[in-house]
Amino acid sequence: RGAHEYIEQLIASAHVMIVGLDAAGRVRVFNRAAESITGYSSDELSGIDWFERIVPKDRYPHVWEVFQEHQRATGAMPATFENPILTKRGEERFVSWQNSTISSPGAEISTISFGIDVTQRKRVEGVLQARLRLLEHAGSHSTDGLLTAALDEIEALTGSTIGFYHFLASDQHTLSLQS
């Protein structure tokens, strides 16, 4: 009994997401870090299909394809995987997972997954890649072309289609807007 309580305390207090799923993909273990990142409480997700709620097929078909293919090939989840999840507030977060299959007879949990929120890292990587593309673009394009490319990169990074820039003509009196 003491060992069981100790393990439950470790799971609850870990600073990484810990999610345990049964063979049908229903949530059986969901720690405080997972609650914090997803916005869902353990009670809200207990017994709920993880993939339908957190990784909806209509929004993330590629994730579903990868998991289904891996299930067909190995009967288990991939040992490591990085994918987006959808929070209760509708925000997208990226999580890097380490997954293990639990195969003891009569076990309520069939997989246990440890996840780290890597959303900020993914954003920084996106900005760095955009900067490199713009540096390459700058060497062979005009200022107009570079500014247009910068707006395109900003749109891709933010998802916003609102953008404009100002050009002051050589006469220093004529201002034109581009969108």
- Residues 122-168: tens digit of each pLDDT: 999 989 999 998 988 888 998 888 888 888 888 888 777 766 555 55
Kindly give the residue spans of alpha helices, DSSP state H, lying in the chain: 2-13, 32-38, 42-45, 50-54, 61-74, 119-138, 143-158
65-85 pLDDT, tens digit each = 888 887 788 777 888 999 999
Question: Of all residues in the chain, what percent are helix, strand and coil, respectively (each to 5)?
Answer: 45, 25, 30
* 113 contacts 103 by C-beta, under 8 angstroms: no
Residue 41 and residue 47: Cα distance in Å, rounded?
A: 12
More confident position, 71 or 42: 42
Q: What is the pLDDT at residue 54? A: 96
Q: What is the pLDDT at residue 45? A: 97
Angle 119-138/143-158 helices, nearest 10 degrees?
Answer: 170
Which among 43-47, 61-65, 101-105, 144-148 has the top mean pLDDT? 43-47
Q: What is the pLDDT at residue 129? A: 92
Q: What is the pLDDT at residue 156? A: 83
Torsion, CA 126, CA 117, CA 23, CA 61, rounded to 10:
-20
Which among 40-49, 104-113, 156-165, 167-176 has the top mean pLDDT? 40-49
For tokens 């925000």, the residue is 91
Region 52-72 average pLDDT: 87
Q: Which two tokens stand for residue 129?
A: 């890649």
Residue 109 has pLDDT above 70, yes or no: no
